[in-house]
Amino acid sequence: MKERIIGALRRFAYPTAENQDDALLRDIAAELAAEGQFSRLAETPQEQQQELRRRAAATFRLVLYHYADFAVSTIDSFVQRIVQAFTRELGLPATFEVELDGDAVLQSAVALLLDKVNRDPNSALLSRSLADYALSKAEEGRSWNTLPDELVQFGRFLLSEPVHEAVEQLQKMSLQDYRRLHETLRQRKEAIEQQVQAVATRALATLDAAGVTDADLYQGKNGIIGYFTKWDERLQPDKEANSYVRATMEQDKWYSGKVKTAADKQRVDAVKSDLTDAFVELETLRATLLPDYVLVSGMMPYLFHVSLLSELSKAVDQLSRERGVVLIAEFNRRIASIVLREPVPFLYERLGERYLHLLIDEFQDTSVLQWNNLLPLVENAVSGGNLSLAVGDAKQAIYRWRGGEMEQILRLHKNETEYLYGRVADDELRRLLEDRYFTLDQALEPKNLNVNYRSAAGIIAFNNSFFEFVSKGHEGLPLVGGIYDEEFGQVGPGASQPSPSATGVGHVELLFTEDAAPARRYSPATGTYSDEPLPGLPPTHLLDYEESTLYLTLQLVEQALADGFRLQDIAVLCRRRDSSRRVAKFLKERGYPIISADSLSLEFAEVVNLLVAVFRVLNQPADTLARAEALLLVDKVVRHLPPTPARARHIAELANHEKALPFFDELRALGYDVQERETGNLGLYELTERLIGMFGLLGRNAESEYLFRFLDLTLEFSLRFGNNLNNFLAYWQQKKSSLSINAPAGRDAITITTVHKAKGLAYGVVIVPFADWSLTPHRNTLLWGRLTEEEKPVPEMPP
């Protein structure tokens, strides 16, 4: 980024013959002129552009002369420097490694915790908690073997910034406290069930005593008798009385059509008063007790996991000390107390540098904890009259799972800082933040950067119309309205607000796919299907939803190419990775080169899989599957031979042989002597180099980047963890899905990626298939919140 900034300054200051007429420079000059930012000496557009070039040259020289004072880095890198300056205060070793893989540490911590149950005599309470958990799973008919994976998944909350405050509070309770709380909650749940079911049972007993059956009552089992029966069987917090029950209570409809005689009506009339009282009592209990019931029922399955957070945190700390590492997710939490409490000049003294201006880009993705740590530095800068800047777009806040919060930038823009510090639970921290914000309040100057330099008029008009529609559809949510209000509408450079019918470059189109769609070409211009059948399909064939979406994507790609775009100008964005794989497979089968997460992944590179297969045989010579895979990949990747039935039978014989020697003899016969007896003396990197050279992989295949990345991986592993081949294979199995190469520059291919990874990139044509996204949270999403004393179902719950 630093090089890009300096490069842009240099391009403005010292233009070459090719960029004398710089469109961006021209737009910026026009904008500054409209704001009166030029002197009277620069009146014409040419003079204004020359003045801007002089300013860029002066800034360029200033940056070069004070290069070390111009710091550009990520927030994580900056925070790491602060951590390194305060290692003693934080109880860290003088030299430590930054661990990026939190899951790997959590898996080791869970293994350590479970091992402690067997070895530590002081862990009787932990053992009893684990035994109770296993029994509860067995009673539910579910397996308890999933415990390690569940603990790793739940343990991620230890490293999660959005919920760190709640997790810290929960860790203050002991295992014994949680056991008592679990019993209290269980009793509360059973008491509510008994209280509700007692009313329903009494109502049904009244009906039985009077001899009234469902045949006598309005709508039979679907009416009032069914209402009481369901509540007697189990509590249904989300089920309200249906329209038949309401008609009975509100319109006095009690008799079924079969009730003809006066005696039958008398029997029903005799129970009307008691049933009405029971109905009112049940509805009252439903309104008063069922919120507690829902809360208790939702909490109890996770109480065991929460109870182990403290123990798991201790195991993570132990492993971090033993390995001399610090999880990157812990940086902001570790320095929070130091940054907020220590004087800023002291912080700069320890850092060895002082910053007068802090410019924060992509502020909508800055987490709450990151901003709290930067706040003292920003407050110190503005208190000295120096400019600081925070730039962001709340509409682009798509990293809430990582701690980003769109409310943060919106509240700052509206100067509602009391909300930002008022929500903090810790009294001391809230007072510290309030003091910092007091200075900041005096310097806040909110501005809207409405000029969109990247998008065409048609795109800008669509975005404005779309967000206006979203805003009007959520009038009950003022926060949403504040994000999408008219203040945040965009305009093009030097233009007024574009209209939805704006002409020129830029085109947005919404297309709908469906089940049972005809296998014919779709005309986007008319929104209808033509008579021309899709290639390879009969005209009578009907496409399901997935097929119609894929074929429509293909037609849009073909249309883009016909319009003059290149393959590298086209991007297909999906929300889920499995959708990306389906699109990639479909287009690849039709001859289109693609760049996707899978195509860049080491996991799917055959040259890497060949090396791993040989590694597995060297590590476990009896591994028949690894032997077969290695020989098949040698034939395919190295010898370029198609498979034949005879060759497959021969490979099967070698793979299933009781000894591994015939496998290595086969390789030697093919001209590839692994020298298996000597590989134990080689390090991982040297072994990998030998196999690459022996099979001639670099010379014969166009997959060199995968090999170089794999070599880097073996070197990194050996430097950190040693040269144990078995450990490396376990590491590879765990990490392979996340290892990839960078996209090759200049390759003419369609990019297929996810929405998150495409953020900030630009393409000439963007296609978004499978856009049937759900806007409701996933059913397993956990909600973390703070309850007031009045809201707690039992007083023993933590704050």
Size (the chain), residues: 799
Three-class DSSP category at 17 = coil
How far is residue 420's CA from residue 375's CA, in Å, rounded to a whole number? 12
Distance (Å, whole) CA 111 – CA 91: 25
Nearest alpha carbon to residue 159 among 228, 235, 106: 106
The torsion region of residue 477 among left (phi > 0), alpha (psi -120 to 50) and beta comes to beta
Phi/psi-derived region of residue 523, left when phi > 0, alpha when psi is between -120 and 50, beta in every other case: beta
Residue written as token pair 């081949």: 725
Q: What are phi and psi of 743, to 5 degrees?
A: -60, 130
- Token pair listed for 55: 């300013």
Amino acid at 786: R
Which three-class secondary structure state does DSSP give residue 765?
A: strand
Question: Which of 612, 690, 626, 635 lies closest to 660, judged by CA?
Answer: 626
- Residue 726 tokens read as 């078995």
Angle at which helices 427-443 and 331-341 cross, to 10°: 70
Distance, in Å, from the CA atom of 552 to the CA atom of 512, rounded to the nearest integer, reads 9
- Find, among 70, 184, 34, the residue nearest to 493 by Cα: 34
Give Cα 611 to chain centroid, integer Å.
Answer: 32
User: What pTM does this model have?
Assistant: 0.76
Per-residue burial over 189-227, b = 16 or more CB atoms within 10 Å of its CB, e = otherwise: beebeeebbebbebbbebbeebebebebbbbbeebbbbb
Which pair of tokens denotes residue 765? 């044509």
The whole-angstrom separation of Cα 301 and Cα 79 is 37
Task: Name which of 485, 462, 459, 460 is nearest 472 in CA terms.
Answer: 485
Angle at 12 between CA 7 and CA 14, to 5 degrees: 90
Nearest to 364 by CA among 321, 311, 315, 404: 404
How many other C-beta atoms are found inside a 10 Å radius of the C-beta of residue 313? 16
- Please give the backbone phi and psi of residue 289, each rounded to the nearest 5 degrees, phi first: -105, -30
Contacts of 85 by beta carbon, 8 Å cutoff, 6+ apart: 347, 350, 351, 352
Residue 378 pLDDT: 92
Closest of 705, 725, 695 to residue 630, by C-alpha: 695
Instruction: Kindly give the interhelix angle for 725-735 and 102-119, rounded to the nearest 10 degrees.
Output: 120
Task: Give the integer Cα–Cα distance in Å for 319 and 321.
Answer: 5
DSSP state of 245: H
- Cβ neighbours of 499 (radius 10 Å): 11
- φ and ψ at 201, to 5 degrees? -65, -40
CA gap 631, 654 in Å, rounded: 9
The residues, any chain, with a CB within 8 Å of residue 635's CB and separated by 6 or more, are 641, 643, 647
Task: Give the pair of three-digit tokens for residue 453.
Answer: 């330099």
Please say whether the beta carbons of 765 and 609 come within 8 A.
no
Residue 699 burial class via C-beta count within 10 angstroms: exposed 0-12, middle 13-18, buried 19 and up: exposed
Decide if 134 contacts 752 (C-beta within 8 A): no
DSSP 394: G
Cβ atoms 679, 686 nearer than 8 A: no
Cβ–Cβ < 8 Å for 150, 356:
no
Q: How far is CA 121 from the centre of its chain?
A: 40
Those residues of the chain that have pLDDT short of 50 are: 499-503
Q: Provide the pLDDT for residue 500.
A: 46
Calpha distance 218→259 (Å, rounded): 10
State the Rg of the chain over Cα.
Answer: 34
Closest Cα partner for 584 from 737, 742, 753? 753
Q: What is the largest CA-CA distance in the chain?
A: 106
Query: DSSP assignment of 407-450, as one string?
Result: HHHHHHHTT-HHHHHHT---HHHHHHHHHHHHHHHHH-------
Cβ atoms of 222 and 197 within 8 Å: the answer is no
**Residues of 144-174 as b/e, b for ≥16 C-beta within 10 angstroms?**
eeebeebbbebbebbbbbbbbbbbeebbebe
Nearest Cα neighbor of 366 from 402, 395, 338, 417 is: 402
C-alpha to C-alpha distance for 730 and 457, rounded to whole angstroms? 53
Tally Cβ neighbours within 10 Å of residue 62: 13
Residue 538: phi and psi, rounded to 5, are -70, 150
- H-helix segments, 66-123: 75-85, 87-90, 102-119
| The pLDDT value given to residue 350 | 85
176 in Cβ contact with 328 (< 8 Å): no
